[in-house]
């Protein structure tokens, strides 16, 4: 049976950890889905795959294009799509229009928005009331890189309390899950215990209800990766070696035989 948002909440109650990874095309999405990943996120980390230095230049049209390909490769996992920078912050109406396009045009199941400040929680509530499932995201929010940089967030008591209250506000607004990115592990544990909806950690310790990583980091395809990521293989090296072997055989006229 395909994963749905009600299952995620049930899994939290059962203590069953949630597995999430990112995808950017049909092939990767199909492999992740076949491997049994619970959530596939078409994240704005797509920007790195497209050669951008930050998530800021990514457009809605680019996200729609890649999300369509991902959804064609998924049968079981819950597909969540990031709304890019400045496609939802202007007004709840802008967010509804663009989130609606994501669900209508791609077949995705939910959208993800960054931030838990009052205007954003109002936007989340607006989307949820219109029938659009929303995943929240607090802590390090990459679309705020010009303000926050890429530093760990919530390290002081005041900053930690603010993130906690943002997470609570997002749950009250109707978010079905919240990503906790690059915050102290004890703060993530406190938030996870406080909320009734699942928390998905990235650089937030083992006490979250699930974990997400950028698939390029997991597969060893990234030129650089954050300190909290882990590579489980080195496909970059394997790809280079395979291409070099192919090139050598072509140049030596050994392929085709």
Cα–Cα distance for residue pair 188/192, rounded to 1 Å: 6
Tokens, residue 31: 């492999």
DSSP 143: G
Give CA separation, 8 vs 77, 123, 135, 154, 167, in Å.
11, 22, 12, 26, 17
The CA angle 80-99-90, to the nearest 5 degrees, is: 125
Q: Where are the strands (E) in 57-193, listed by range?
A: 78-82, 110-112, 134-139, 177-181
| Cβ burial 11-22 (10 Å sphere, 16+ → b, else e) | bbeeeeebbbbb
Which pairs with CB-CB distance under 8 Å and at least 24 residues apart come from 152-159? 152/182, 152/183, 152/184, 152/203, 153/181, 153/182, 153/183, 154/183, 154/184, 154/187, 155/184
User: Among this protein's residues, is 181 annotated catalytic?
Assistant: yes
Choose the catalytic residue: 61, 171, 181, 249.
Answer: 181
Mapped onto helix, strand or coil, the DSSP state of residue 56 is coil
Give the CA distances from residue 169 to residues 4, 58, 240, in Å, rounded to whole numbers and listed in that order: 22, 27, 47
Instruction: Give the residue numbers annotated as catalytic, written as ranges.
Output: 181
């Amino acid at each position: 049976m395909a994963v749905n948002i009600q299952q995620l909440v049930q899994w939290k109650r059962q203590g069953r950890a949630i597995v999430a990874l990112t995808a950017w095309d049909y092939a990767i999405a199909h492999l992740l889905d076949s491997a049994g990943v619970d959530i596939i996120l078409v994240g704005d980390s797509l920007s790195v795959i497209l050669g951008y230095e930050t998530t800021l230049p990514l457009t809605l049209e680019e996200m729609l294009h890649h999300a369509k390909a991902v959804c064609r490769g998924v049968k079981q996992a819950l597909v969540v799509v990031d709304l890019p920078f400045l496609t939802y912050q202007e007004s709840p109406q802008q967010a509804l229009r663009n989130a609606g396009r994501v669900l209508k045009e791609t077949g995705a199941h939910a959208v993800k928005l960054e931030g838990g400040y009052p205007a954003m929680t109002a936007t989340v509530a607006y989307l949820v009331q219109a029938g659009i499932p929303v995943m929240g995201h607090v802590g390090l929010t990459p679309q705020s890189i010009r303000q926050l940089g890429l530093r760990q967030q919530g390290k002081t008591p005041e900053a930690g309390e603010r993130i906690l209250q943002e997470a609570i506000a997002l749950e009250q607004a109707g978010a079905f899950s919240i990503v906790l990115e690059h915050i102290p592990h004890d703060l993530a544990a406190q938030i996870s215990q406080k909320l009734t909806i699942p928390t998905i950690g990235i650089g937030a310790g083992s006490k979250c209800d699930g974990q997400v990583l950028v698939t390029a980091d997991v597969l060893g395809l990234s030129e650089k990766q954050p300190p909290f990521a882990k590579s489980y293989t080195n496909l970059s090296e394997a790809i280079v070696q395979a291409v070099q072997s192919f090139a050598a055989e072509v140049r030596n006229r050994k392929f085709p035989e």
